[in-house]
Chains A and B, each alone.
Chain A
């Protein structure tokens, strides 16, 4: 299949796969800059697994909610608990995240074993998200989440960057760092939860980490890092989708692999510039 034919096929048959993956790529890339700067990269992986666990719960009769609602509710509860535990000093951050990560996976497996009348493979497929079959409803929901996340982040850019740079001093200036942190994690939870349901955990975690790190290697100004990260988050999925069609690869891993190639190129550019 030629590139032109692939583009025509994607736009005709799978437009929401393209728009949806670009949208999720951009919003994850934006939030990821803070996540990398706060040194809580593993939080992205943890929240995707918590979100998948919440989704799995909705297969049980006792929690028969819409999948996105169940996923969102569990992720928000987890964030409230995590934001307290991550600011404490008794337990190391990585130990807290590691525990929640493995707990979510273990409980999800247990839940799936008890889910009635549904094949495990069917549930797994739903839990992992499938970019090619993004529905218009899910896409519009994600668009709403995107607008919400970007509006809050742009409206409070000063406050989020101050807390991220120096929470201690921000606190002395009357900014309640723990409340701002909570707001940040809540938004991250909503984005990750809806995005995981839409495109899967590999894509979400990949785009929370890869574009921000590539952007940090490529540019030397904070606002440009956000911009470059979003551009990489927008372009990598579209190139990835083309390659997935061309070589008959699964779409999510291909998009993440394209992001990884961009990251390697950014690292090379950075090395050449330093030398």
Chain B
């Protein structure tokens, strides 16, 4: 299968000020990838994400974007939902419309076409009925869908999600992960998902980066998420098993697990 590299990290060192977070990393994210980035808290996942979003320049090396692919510059970003304002009662429609602001441009009001795209995005994530509600009054899962709809409204080629299932109950988590999977499969979106929850990523993504300051590996899930790698990164005896055709990750020796 022919793959087009979309984002290329070449010997990139990332950090803030003089503090190095990730050193000398090289890997590629391809067009059509479903790419996961996992690792413990504080390992550098957000730093990596910021480099992809071009809000952080590498200290050395290069992060380049395929100039032949227009997809490389069309990101739809879904932030962690607790980073947005919960004071002002923006409606769901207003929040999703923000995804169109770049296309609308300065000094212009949203056109009929923009409102239609907002509705289409809401339909896509199954929350058309919530469009008049206040964003701040929604449940965690509904808010996540609104933020995904906002990212879709910008007509992205790459959907980037930062901890999309953080703090959700099991059914909301599965529902959001299935939605992202559907968007990847049916809309051919390249998806980059950051999570510290291994279970969320392991059975969905095609390729994965295991991130830790002294450990960085990229490959397929089977190549990267091995007991040896995970035990080294998390400093715990990690077990990787297959249960009903799905991967399950647990800690050996906890509560009767052997």
A164 touches which one: B88, B94, B104, B134 (CB < 8 A)? B88
The B-contacting residues of A in range 34-67, CB under 8 angstroms, are 36-37, 39
B1 interface residue per 8 A CB criterion: no
Nearest to B102 among chain A residues (CB) is: A173
B79 interface residue per 8 A CB criterion: yes
Given contacts A156-B106, A159-B106, A172-B53, contact A221 B101 (CB under 8 A): no
The B-contacting residues of A in range 148-178, CB under 8 angstroms, are 155-156, 158-159, 161-162, 164-166, 168-175
Q: Considering the chains assembled together, what is the distance between the CA atoms of A128 and B53 in angstroms? A: 48
Closest CB of chain A to B111's CB: distance in Å?
13
Which chain A residues border B204 with CB–CB below 8 Å? none
B55 contacts A171, C-beta separation under 8 Å:
yes
Which chain B residues border A225 with CB–CB below 8 Å? 88-89
Closest CB of chain B to A36's CB: distance in Å?
7
Binary per-residue interface labels of chain A (188-225) against chain B in the complex, 1 for a CB within 8 Å, 0 otherwise: 00000000000000000000000000001000111001
* A interface residue count range (under 10 / 10 to 19 / 20 to 34 / 35 or more): 20 to 34
Nearest to A174 among chain B residues (CB) is: B102
Closest CB of chain A to B150's CB: distance in Å?
8
B21 interface residue per 8 A CB criterion: no
A221 contacts B89, C-beta separation under 8 Å:
yes
B27 interface residue per 8 A CB criterion: no
Main secondary structure of the interface of A (DSSP, over half): helix
Binary per-residue interface labels of chain B (23-51) against chain A in the complex, 1 for a CB within 8 Å, 0 otherwise: 00000000000000000000000000000
Which chain A residues border B54 with CB–CB below 8 Å? 172
Given contacts A37-B88, A220-B89, contact A169 B79 (CB under 8 A): yes
Which chain A residues border B90 with CB–CB below 8 Å? 161, 165, 222
Q: Considering the chains assembled together, what is the distance between the CA atoms of A36 and B75 in angstroms? A: 31
Q: Considering the chains assembled together, what is the distance between the CA atoms of A173 and B150 in angstroms? A: 12
Closest CB of chain B to A57's CB: distance in Å?
35
Nearest to B103 among chain A residues (CB) is: A173
A173 contacts B91, C-beta separation under 8 Å:
no
The A-contacting residues of B in range 195-212, CB under 8 angstroms, are none
B85 contacts A166, C-beta separation under 8 Å:
yes
B79 contacts A36, C-beta separation under 8 Å:
no
A159 touches which one: B77, B89, B91, B101 (CB < 8 A)? B101
A165 contacts B98, C-beta separation under 8 Å:
yes
A216 touches which one: B85, B87, B95, B106 (CB < 8 A)? B87
A36 contacts B87, C-beta separation under 8 Å:
yes
Closest CB of chain A to B57's CB: distance in Å?
14
Nearest to A39 among chain B residues (CB) is: B87
Q: Considering the chains assembled together, what is the distance between the CA atoms of A247 and B107 in angstroms? A: 48
B107 contacts A172, C-beta separation under 8 Å:
no
Which chain B residues border A169 with CB–CB below 8 Å? 77, 79, 84, 98, 150
Closest CB of chain A to B78's CB: distance in Å?
8
B87 touches which one: A37, A156, A161, A171 (CB < 8 A)? A37
Q: Considering the chains assembled together, what is the distance between the CA atoms of A225 and B87 in angstroms? A: 12
Interface of B toward A, CB cutoff 8 Å: 53-55, 75, 77, 79, 83-85, 87-91, 94-95, 98-99, 101-102, 104, 106-107, 134, 150, 154
Interface of A toward B, CB cutoff 8 Å: 33, 36-37, 39, 155-156, 158-159, 161-162, 164-166, 168-175, 216, 220-222, 225
Q: Which 8 A-B pairs have the closest CB atoms?
A: A172-B77, A166-B84, A173-B102, A172-B53, A165-B85, A37-B88, A162-B98, A37-B87
